[in-house]
Amino acid sequence: MKEDIAVIGLGTFGFELAVQLSKLGHGVLAIDTDEKKINAIKDEVSVAVQADVTDEDVLRKLEIEKFDKVIFGMSNALESIILSIAHMKKMRVKYIIGKANTRIKKEILLKIGADEVILPEISTAQRLAERISTPSILEKFEIDAATSLIEIKVPGKFHQKTLKELDLRKKYGITVILRRHGASTQVISRPDIKLEMDDIVFVLGDEAVVKKVFVD
pLDDT for the residue 146? 85
Sheet holding 116-118, edge to edge: 47-50, 27-32, 4-8, 69-72, 96-99, 116-118
The stretch 34-39 carries a mean pLDDT of 96
Q: Given this model, what pLDDT does residue 142 score?
A: 83
pLDDT for 26 beyond 90: yes
**What does the DSSP assignment read for 107-138?**
HHHHHTT-SEEE-HHHHHHHHHHHHHH-TTEE
Those residues with Cβ within 8 angstroms of residue 144's Cβ, 6 or more apart along the chain or in another chain: none
Q: 3-class DSSP state for residue 4?
A: strand
Looking at domain 4-123, what is its CATH homologous superfamily? NAD(P)-binding Rossmann-like Domain (3.40.50.720)
Q: For the segment 124-150, what is each residue's pLDDT rounded down to a tens digit?
A: 888 888 888 888 888 888 888 789 999
In whole angstroms, what is the distance from residue 122 CA to residue 100 CA?
A: 9
pLDDT at 216 over 70: no
**Domain coordinates in residue numbering, the chain:** 4-123, 134-214
Q: Report pLDDT digits (tens) over 143-186.
A: 887 899 999 999 999 999 999 999 999 999 999 999 998 888 88
pTM of the model: 0.70
Q: Quick one: pLDDT at residue 23?
A: 94
pLDDT of amino acid 120: 87
Q: What is the pLDDT of residue 75?
A: 81
Q: Which CATH number fits domain 134-214: 3.30.70.1450, 3.40.50.150, 3.20.20.80, 3.40.47.10?
A: 3.30.70.1450
Strand segments (E) across the chain? 4-8, 27-32, 47-50, 69-72, 96-99, 116-118, 137-144, 147-153, 175-181, 184-187, 200-205
Q: Say how far apart CA 6 and CA 67 lie, in whole Å.
A: 7
